[in-house]
Amino acid sequence: MAEAVIDGEGIRPQLVSSRIAVYVWAGTAVIALALVAFIGGAPIAAAYGHPAIAAATYKTFSYVCHQIPERSFHLADHKFAVCSRCTGLYTGFALTILVYPLGRSLNRTDTPSRIWLILAALPLAIDFALGYFNIWHNTHLSRFSTGALLSSVAVFFIMPGLIELSLGVTGRFRARTVN
């Protein structure tokens, strides 16, 4: 963890880092939830007479997802802004980030063993490979669930990194303002 500068008012390093960690967590949660809302909001916008909003959303997500209609969930007869696997990735991340502080202190910046990330990626890789080689036809559910599993585990690697990064940045900023 980054060191906090203790000024004349006696600010405790733990309190400063806790506050920053909460801000980082809350900001990440808001962004993740907003992305999920945009993914599900695109078909609603398209269905209810807002084609410009839908088109902008589809275009934005086209840079990160293939958006093949046959591999996407549909709502109101319009596809989601991303495929079912990407929907799982975004949804799993958003839901796990919401409950993250219940399972792990925001003050911890250590990460679990990388084997957990590899194990979480394995079902996704198997699901993809079996479908790619026409051994097994994967489904919306298999794509969604393997994506959600991977991103849920990834939260436990991403959040500590974001918190540590923000503590380092704010620590350097405070050190410059004190000097």
Q: What CA–CA distances, in Å, run from 72 to 45, 79, 84, 141, 153?
A: 16, 6, 5, 10, 23
pLDDT reading at 35 higher than 60:
yes
pLDDT reading at 92 higher than 90:
yes
- The rounded percent of the chain whose pLDDT value lies above 70 is 85
Alpha helices in 104-137 (DSSP H): 114-132
pLDDT reading at 81 higher than 50:
yes
pLDDT band for 147, please (50, 70, 90 cuts).
very high
pLDDT band for 32, please (50, 70, 90 cuts).
very high
Contact status, residue 140 vs residue 84, Cβ threshold 8 Å: yes
Contact status, residue 81 vs residue 57, Cβ threshold 8 Å: yes
pLDDT reading at 7 higher than 70:
no
So where are the chain's domains? Answer: 13-178
